[in-house]
Chains A and B, each alone.
Chain A
Amino acid sequence: MSTSGRAPDGDAPPVRALGLVKRYGELVAVDHVDLNVATGDIYGYLGPNGAGKTTSLRMLLGLIRPDEGDVELFGRDPLIAGAKALDGVAGFVEAPRFYPYMTGRRNLDLLAAFDGAGAAGRIDESLRAVDLDKRDGDKVGGYSHGMRQRLGIAAALLRAPRLLLLDEPATGLDPAGLRDMRSLIRRLAGEGITVMLSSHQLAEVEELCNRVAIIRTGRVAYEGELAELKRTAAAEYRVRTTDDHRAAAVCRAQPAIFEIRVTDDEIRVRAEEPAIAELSIALGEAGIGLKLLANEQATLEDLFFRLTEGDPVAAEAVA
């Protein structure tokens, strides 16, 4: 049950979504999604195209109404508290959009007027923060994609946010733009702003985020600490022995090893560390010599594809 339009609770988390559902006819775009973003998080929201990330973000910002579930931003529901629920919240979904027939500065003038609360006094600072202060007099219609992304960040900064919601902020940026965007997000987080960003850039998420949610076909496959995900996800081990044929049989006899692949010159097993220790003993007892036992720690990309592709039951096992 939502706590609605009451005054913001100082201890309330920046984002709390519970059981969010959005249907478009037969299609369930978002299926009972729970999200919890804590103060100070840089929270990555990952998923393939069409997984429901943008629909979720639109529901968080009150742009679309969930069919089921509740959203609270700092303890307030956007559908009940209206614009007040967005106090301290800023960001954009999909590409940030502006009036192309007005200059960058004029667009910010408009948005600052719509923000009130001294936002107009932050225009220069925001433009400088995204390095657009020298192009603010140009019409937005002539801006590159990257400049519009940066103007989107500037527009968000006008609101002096405590929570930034950014949908694919790095999309379409060149390598220098990507570097600058990551550096800006890191700096903003360093200033105490909680950031929730959806992204396809797994390297970016791995570099920036401390917590992630991974969504597939509208459902959250994992939510939690990124480090925890990487730690608990069973690593893959490469095993080479003096007798791979018999070694494979020994592997299969180990109950804690849950995935075995035999290739031409080695065996690949997926298991947690204690099981690997037991395997090495079992191989020795069987008179099989170990030539190689190498740990290949799963990258975020490995985990992402394991969680978002293939059998959902197997994906849940990984999570």
Chain B
Amino acid sequence: MRRPGTLTVYVWELRKLRAQKRTYLGLGIVTAVPLIFVISLGLRAGGPDGVAFGRYVHQSGLAIPLVILIFASAFLLPLATALVAGDIVAAEDHNGTLKTILTRSLDRGQIFAGKLLAALSYALLALVLMGTVATVAGSLESGFNGLVSLSGTHISAPKALELVYASFGIYLLPMLAIASIGVLLSTTTRNSAGAVVGTVMVVLMLNLLNIVPGLGSLHDYLLPNQFDAWMGFLRTPIDWSPIVRAAWVSAIYAVPCVFAAYLVFLRRDVTGG
């Protein structure tokens, strides 16, 4: 008879996430922030100054998700990502359920892969949910209108919508790297709160490196800076260099973290519970 595999673990990890309040806390926050932002726009005439697309938020609802992407990179989306990624192994270890699932018919590698995929899926869901709420609410508030690109050219509304979702796609890459850091900390620390906070602290530390004098040459390789790569899509013609860099820089952070977490998970002694 066919043995269960990674897909089984992945599906059940998603079901477990659906059954936990913590999941909805993160999703609630990423839903509330764009709604609050749009409501505040409706209450006053101005918009965020000094931010790309900030001055267009009253002309086109499609500018709103882009502005929110800029603000969300510092803390909001890393936190939402860390809430699940930092918890996904450590909580099971702490509660003793890791030993329960490790004594069934699945190999450790399959369980790790299922958990990793679930953490990455949650990051994707948080981003798509936030972006979609911002796009819909923004369009209702400011209209489904075209955008002016960062190069000053006009982009039609359907094309702009396409580029907004493409931006979400490239924005996802550093988020996945953050999720990988979270999974590594979750696997090694065996402490859920420590792993969640640790992940956010790593992002904040990388942000701080951005303002340390003398480290200018490092900026292109800092993970938080890859959150701005989507702006390449909003230039005419599309500027692929920041997008390609975001892809490989994010991979440089993600791949070693995932590999290290995998090795630790395979070899660790499960003593919790």
Residues of A bordering B, CB below 8 Å: 58, 61-65, 82-83, 86-87, 90-102, 106, 110-111, 113-118, 155, 159
Question: Which of A63, A65, A118 touches B102 (beta carbons < 8 Å)?
Answer: A63
> Which A-chain residue is minimally distant from B271 (CB atoms)?
A64
Knowing A113-B12, A116-B4 are in contact, say whether A86-B19 is a contact too (CB < 8 A).
no
CA distance in complex: A115, B273 (Å):
21
Contact A97 B3 (CB under 8 A): no
Asked if residues A93 and B99 are in contact (CB atoms below 8 Å), the reply is yes
**A/B interface sample: 27 pairs, CB < 8 A:** A63-B102, A63-B271, A64-B270, A82-B107, A83-B106, A91-B103, A92-B103, A93-B99, A94-B96, A95-B273, A96-B100, A97-B273, A98-B97, A98-B100, A99-B16, A99-B19, A99-B97, A100-B95, A102-B19, A110-B12, A110-B101, A113-B4, A114-B12, A115-B105, A116-B2, A116-B105, A117-B105
Q: Which residues of B contact A101 (CB under 8 A)?
A: 19-21
Chain B residues near A155: list those with CB within 8 A. 100
B45 an interface residue at 8 Å Cβ cutoff?
no
Does B49 belong to the interface (CB within 8 Å)? no
Q: Which residue in B8, B11, B107, B273 is a CB contact (below 8 Å) of A83? A: B107
Q: B78-112: which have CB < 8 Å to A?
A: 95-97, 99-108
User: Hey, which chain B residues are within 8 Å of A64, CB to CB?
Assistant: 269-271
B44 touches A (CB below 8 Å): no
Q: Which residues of B contact A (CB under 8 A)?
A: 1-4, 8-9, 11-12, 15-16, 19-21, 95-97, 99-108, 267, 269-271, 273
For residue A61, which residues in chain B have a CB less than 8 angstroms away from its CB? 99, 103
Complex: A65 Cα to B270 Cα, angstroms? 9
CA distance A240 to B116 in the complex (A): 75
- Our pick among A63, A65, A110, A113 for the contact of B103 (Cβ within 8 Å) is A63
> Cα distance A97–B21 when bound, in Å?
20
Q: Are A114 and B104 in touch, CB under 8 angstroms?
A: yes
Cross-interface CB contact of A114 among B2, B8, B15, B270, cutoff 8 Å:
B8
Chain B residues with CB under 8 A of A91: 103
On whether the beta carbons of B4 and A111 are closer than 8 Å, the reply is no
Give the distance in Å from the alpha carbon of A113 to the alpha carbon of B19 in the complex.
Answer: 17
A60 to B120, CA, bound (A): 33
Closest Cβ–Cβ distance, residue B84 to chain A (whole Å): 15
Residues of A close to B271: CB separation below 8 A: 58, 63-64
Q: Is the CB of A94 within 8 A of B273?
A: yes
Q: Distance in Å from the Cβ of B5 to the closest Cβ of chain A? A: 9
The distance in angstroms between the C-alpha atoms of A232 and B211, with both chains bound, is: 79
Q: A113-B4, A114-B8 are in contact. Are A82 and B96 (CB under 8 A)?
A: no
Closest to B267 in A: A65
Complex Cα spacing A91 to B103, Å:
8
Q: Is the CB of B270 within 8 A of A58?
A: yes
- With A83-B106, A97-B96, A101-B20: A114-B101 Cβ-Cβ less than 8 Å: yes
Taken together as a complex, chains A and B put the C-alpha atoms of A63 and B19 apart, in Å, by 27
CA distance A96 to B3 in the complex (A): 24
Distance in angstroms from A311 CB to nearest chain B CB is: 31
Give CA–CA (A219, B71) in the complex, Å.
61
Shortest Cβ gap from A57 to chain B (Å): 10
Q: A95-B273, A102-B19 are in contact. Are A115 and B103 (CB under 8 A)?
A: no
